[in-house]
């Protein structure tokens, strides 16, 4: 079976800037796939290459095995949900959702029935006659989602769609999107700079930086076994120990990732000096310095917090230290 989306040596260049640099990647049919990275990393450009809003400078984009490199956006079996919703303010919710069907020439009764069904799908029954200005941010996001789904795309592209929502609503929408994707069984490609979103929703994650993919894997693989110091630092909070320190501790001269929650403070272990602490509510982040490396330790709520300047000893289980053996220097 052909992948839902394939990038084959794709580069997208803007002048001297390579926004996407020799990207090769397969996304499976029915997969919830996240493209994660900071601003300017190439993730949104990659999404736009699938949508057809950008064309590769070189390479090919295939959708279900068909070369879509030169196919215009309206002929691709994909739809896009944008962060700013892009709803028409003068149309009610029903007509916003049905707009694509109207353009396609679907008769009014049929498109209205389809719009009502799509609104049910995103938990907005009874909202069809409202205007976008009468909706909350989360409700407008659901309308944008219904409008994208009403055309029954084979692939749904989501360009940071939750970025404008507050934290609690964003977490609620994360759960709803994942549930919706599972019920529909279609491919979702989700672009975000928020590692929490990517880890909580995606089947697999691609971590982008400077136009290239640093690592592709399941959320657990990317978090527990980061391939590079960039991935270790960007995906969650990690201590990237320099190769010289790792060599003194283990005899292996490679940089290593050590998650703050895997570290214990005890009577023996690596000596460190407390540099400060930050209260996080459910935990406290302790900042320490050891052999010239600045590290953080996540202390559970209720644990003793050592004073700044105190000497502590850091210990961890053998499997907590992940060697990044593909990296030559720390």
Confidence of residue 230 (pLDDT cuts 50, 70, 90): very high
Helix (H) / strand (E) containing 246: helix 243-250
Which domains does the chain carry? 5-231 (3.40.50.300), 240-323 (2.40.50.140)
Res 55: pLDDT: 95
Task: Return all residues near 251 (Cβ < 8 A) that are at least 6 apart.
Answer: none
**Average pLDDT over all residues of the chain:** 91
Confidence of residue 32 (pLDDT cuts 50, 70, 90): very high
Q: Which two tokens stand for residue 316?
A: 């961890």
Average pLDDT over residues 178-188: 92
Residue 37 CA neighbour count, 13 Å, CB half: 24
Angle, alpha carbons 30-149-19 (nearest 5°): 70
Average pLDDT over residues 155-170: 84
Confidence of residue 86 (pLDDT cuts 50, 70, 90): confident
H helices present in the chain, as ranges:
43-51, 93-97, 99-103, 108-121, 137-149, 167-184, 195-201, 219-224, 229-234, 243-250
Average pLDDT over residues 236-254: 90
Count Cβ atoms below 10 Å from residue 289 Cβ, excluding itself. Answer: 12
Confidence of residue 327 (pLDDT cuts 50, 70, 90): low
Average pLDDT over residues 235-258: 91
C-alpha–C-alpha distance, residues 132 and 130, integer Å? 7
Residues in the chain: 330
Res 236: pLDDT: 82
C-alpha–C-alpha distance, residues 175 and 153, integer Å? 21
Res 330: pLDDT: 41
Q: Is 193's pLDDT higher than 70? A: yes
Percent of the chain's residues with pLDDT above 90: 73
Angle, alpha carbons 213-216-217 (nearest 5°): 165
Closest CA to 54 of 65, 68, 67, 40: 68
Res 328: pLDDT: 52
Instruction: Please check whether residue 289 is in contact with residue 272, taking contact to mean a CB–CB distance below 8 angstroms.
Output: yes
pLDDT tens figures, 302-321 = 899 999 999 999 999 988 99
Q: Coil, strand, or helix at residue 123?
A: coil
Res 136: pLDDT: 86
Q: Is 107's pLDDT higher than 90? A: yes
C-alpha–C-alpha distance, residues 289 and 294, integer Å? 4
pLDDT tens figures, 279-308 = 999 999 999 999 888 999 999 998 999 999
Q: Is 46's pLDDT higher than 90? A: yes
Res 137: pLDDT: 83
C-alpha–C-alpha distance, residues 205 and 216, integer Å? 6
């Amino acid at each position: 079976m052909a992948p839902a989306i394939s990038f084959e040596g794709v580069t997208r260049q803007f002048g001297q800037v390579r926004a996407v640099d020799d990207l090769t990647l397969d996304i499976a049919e029915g997969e919830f796939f996240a493209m994660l990275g900071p601003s300017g990393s190439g993730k949104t450009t990659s999404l736009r290459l699938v949508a057809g809003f950008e064309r590769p400078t070189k390479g090919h984009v295939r959708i279900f095995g068909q070369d879509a490199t030169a196919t215009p956006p309206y002929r691709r079996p994909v739809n896009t949900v944008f962060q700013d919703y892009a709803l028409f303010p003068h149309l009610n919710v029903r007509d916003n959702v049905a707009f694509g069907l109207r353009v396609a020439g679907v008769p009014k009764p049929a498109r209205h029935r389809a719009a009502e069904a799509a609104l049910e799908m995103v938990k907005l029954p009874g909202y069809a006659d409202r205007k976008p200005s009468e909706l909350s941010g989360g409700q407008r996001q659901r309308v944008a989602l219904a409008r994208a789904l009403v055309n029954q795309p084979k692939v749904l592209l989501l360009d940071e769609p939750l970025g404008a929502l507050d934290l609690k609503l964003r977490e609620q929408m994360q759960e709803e999107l994942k549930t919706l994707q599972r019920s529909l069984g279609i491919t979702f490609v989700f672009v975000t700079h928020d590692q929490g979103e990517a880890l909580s929703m995606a089947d697999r994650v691609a971590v982008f930086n400077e136009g290239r993919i640093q690592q592709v894997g399941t959320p657990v693989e990317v978090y527990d076994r980061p391939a590079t110091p960039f991935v270790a630092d960007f995906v969650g909070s990690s201590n990237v120990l320099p190769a010289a320190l790792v060599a003194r501790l283990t005899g292996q001269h490679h940089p290593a990732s050590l998650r703050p929650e895997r570290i214990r403070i005890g009577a023996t272990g690596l000596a460190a000096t407390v540099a400060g602490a930050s209260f996080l509510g459910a935990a406290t982040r302790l900042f320490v310095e050891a052999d010239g490396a600045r590290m953080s330790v996540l202390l559970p709520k209720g644990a003793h917090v050592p004073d700044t300047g105190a000497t502590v000893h850091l210990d961890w289980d053998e499997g907590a230290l992940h060697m990044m053996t593909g990296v030559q220097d720390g």
